[in-house]
Structure 1
Amino acid sequence: MTAELSGSTALVTGGTSGIGRATAVALAGLGAHVVLSGRDAGRGDEVVSAIRAAGGKADFVAAELTDAASARSLADRARELGGHVDVLVNNAGIFPTGPTADLSEADFDRVYATNVKVPFFLVAELAPEMAARGQGAIVNVSTVVALRGMAGMALYGSSKAAVELMTKAWAAEFGPSGVRVNAVSPGPTRTGGTAAFGEGLDELATAGPAGRVAAPEEIASAIAFLVTGGSSFVQGAVLPVDGGRLAV
């Protein structure tokens, strides 16, 4: 594997498990100094140890990402550890599901704080600095549910629909200064977070042409593509990585 990202720093939120962990490992394998955030220090240290054992460079920052202040604090720590941030992967997110009438205002605020507010203020902190340097890459992690109306998914899906619109707006805002902003839209993916869906995850996956659930590494490969030179002419895109789920 080439060290295309050698000399760069990549911040991956929610990098201790699932898609975030796989992304941290993938970007470290490309030569990036990966700063990964999460709530569980034990899992964070495990990911860092695995990356370092493979010859990569990584640091963990414990972060409860709930508001603008926590986003700014994480950006500051990433700068301290890496000098500057060249790649930002907004992966951290929460996805409670259920009937609209059963979800509280607290649920609503929590989902939008983590899924929308935190990415917004991380980009507000880091994208202008990337633009000043004339280069950078940002990838936001969305979901196929942002484009498909599904019962019980109104809250989660709408938060990710907001992320997809912000992706396009940021591409228009920062793209002329050399910062590429894109998103990936994963389909059903086997992670610790989706384990609670049980057989329902497999049932959802069988509706797509691939007919199976994705591994986190398959989503991470798409993210790696979007932050490296092979996607140099890709801006403001939402890349479906869903086994063809949106095609049917």
Structure 2
Amino acid sequence: MAGRFAGRRVVVTGGGRGIGRAVALAFAAEGADVAVLARTKEQVDAVAAEMAPLGGRYVAVSCDVGDAEQVAAADRQVTEAFGGVDVLVNAAGVFTMGPSADFPADQVNELLTTNVAGTLRCCQVFGRHMLAAGAGKIVNFGSLLSFTAFPERAAYAASKAGVVQLTRVLGVEWAAAGVNVNGVAPGMIRIETPHPAALAEDDIVARIPAGRRGAPADITGPVLFLASADADYVNGQTIVVDGGWLSYGYL
């Protein structure tokens, strides 16, 4: 199938819904062979069914990125199907919130295990194919809370700030090996299971210079750019895709 990513082998974690699903389908529409990873079989099977008419190869893998054995098993399945990996998109993540003074330790551990350790683990496991080949693209997912703060989101914000710093370190460490590691930080995106809001919906929209919440499709373009040859000289950067929220000084 013709397309910018024809013949490219892409792994998308967190690809079962929301932004991850949109990213997986965007790569498939551009001719890529896509492995979709998500926690539940129902999610990955549904996305695989959407990719089937697009003509490329696809693999649906149930995988919790916080579990090292599951990530290793997913790598074996992807390698068997595609023979390697050219692009990795780390869209998997979890969100919980609560008062910082007594935020439960088990929830802190889940956030750090999935969002930070899981992202690093996938970079290591799938990135080894790229390092061996001397070429590849990795796109990690940060958040507005990588850079700014909302109340009662201490552990989540710390995890997403960690992803941005991880992206910087791998970006500079692996650049000489031909592997570009970058990230995107979505703003207020309208998805099917939104995070609890710190503001009323009208106040959220009023705070966004673009005048609307984003959609998953607003994130796919920046992701595909960072995964393309157009970004060969981009290393360790995180693009904030938020309609101008972070830059706006309005209170």
* TM surpasses 0.5: yes
Q: Deviations over 1:86-130 (max 9, x none)?
A: 100011001111211242110010111110111111111222321
SS in 2 for 1:239: strand
Q: Deviations over 1:132-163 (max 9, x none)?
A: 21110000011011110221121111101111
Kept after mapping to 1: 8 A contact 2:137/2:181: yes
Q: Deviations over 1:71-95 (max 9, x none)?
A: 2222222212221011000110011
Identical positions, percent: 33
* Partners of 1:154 and 1:205 in 2: CA distance: 24
Structure 1 pair 206/190, CA: closer, same or farther in 2 (3 Å)?
A: same
Q: Deviations over 1:147-203 (max 9, x none)?
A: 102211211111011110010100111111110000001001111231654974553
Kept after mapping to 2: 8 A contact 1:194/1:201: no
Pairing of 1:30-45 with structure 2 (within 5 A) = 30-45=30-45
* Partners of 2:21 and 2:202 in 1: CA distance: 22
Corresponding residue of 2:178: 178
* Partners of 2:158 and 2:146 in 1: CA distance: 6
After TM superposition, the structure 1 stretch with the greater mean CA deviation from structure 2, 103-112 or 38-47, is 38-47
Establish whether residue 233 from structure 1 lines up as the match of residue 244 from structure 2.
no
Pairing of 1:57-76 with structure 2 (within 5 A) = 57-76=57-76
Deviation, structure 1 residue 5? 1.4
Corresponding residue of 1:188: 188
Letter in 1 for 2:53: A
Kept after mapping to 2: 8 A contact 1:127/1:174: no
Structure 1 pair 136/201, CA: closer, same or farther in 2 (3 Å)?
A: farther
TM-score with structure 1 setting the length: 0.94
Corresponding residue of 1:15: 15
Deviation, structure 1 residue 228? 0.8
Which contiguous aligned blocks of 4+ residues in structure 1 show a shift greater than 4 angstroms? 195-199
* Partners of 2:66 and 2:200 in 1: CA distance: 29
Structure 1 pair 95/227, CA: closer, same or farther in 2 (3 Å)?
A: same
Kept after mapping to 2: 8 A contact 1:90/1:140: yes
> Would you say how many aligned residue pairs link Structure 1 and Structure 2?
248
Structure 1 pair 32/202, CA: closer, same or farther in 2 (3 Å)?
A: farther
Corresponding residue of 2:83: 83
Structure 1 pair 112/3, CA: closer, same or farther in 2 (3 Å)?
A: same
After TM superposition, the structure 1 stretch with the greater mean CA deviation from structure 2, 219-228 or 74-83, is 74-83
State the superposition RMSD in angstroms.
Answer: 1.9
Kept after mapping to 2: 8 A contact 1:180/1:235: yes
For structure 2, list consecutive stretches of 5 or more residues without a partner in the other structure. none
Corresponding residue of 1:245: 245
For structure 1, list consecutive stretches of 5 or more residues without a partner in the other structure. none
Kept after mapping to 1: 8 A contact 2:66/2:114: yes
Q: Deviations over 1:5-28 (max 9, x none)?
A: 111211100101100000001111
Corresponding residue of 2:50: 50
Deviation, structure 1 residue 2? 5.4
Kept after mapping to 1: 8 A contact 2:33/2:56: yes
SS in 2 for 1:206: helix
Structure 1 pair 144/21, CA: closer, same or farther in 2 (3 Å)?
A: same
Corresponding residue of 1:116: 116
After TM superposition, the structure 1 stretch with the greater mean CA deviation from structure 2, 131-140 or 37-46, is 37-46
SS in 1 for 2:246: helix
Establish whether residue 6 from structure 1 lines up as the match of residue 6 from structure 2.
yes
Pairing of 1:145-164 with structure 2 (within 5 A) = 145-164=145-164
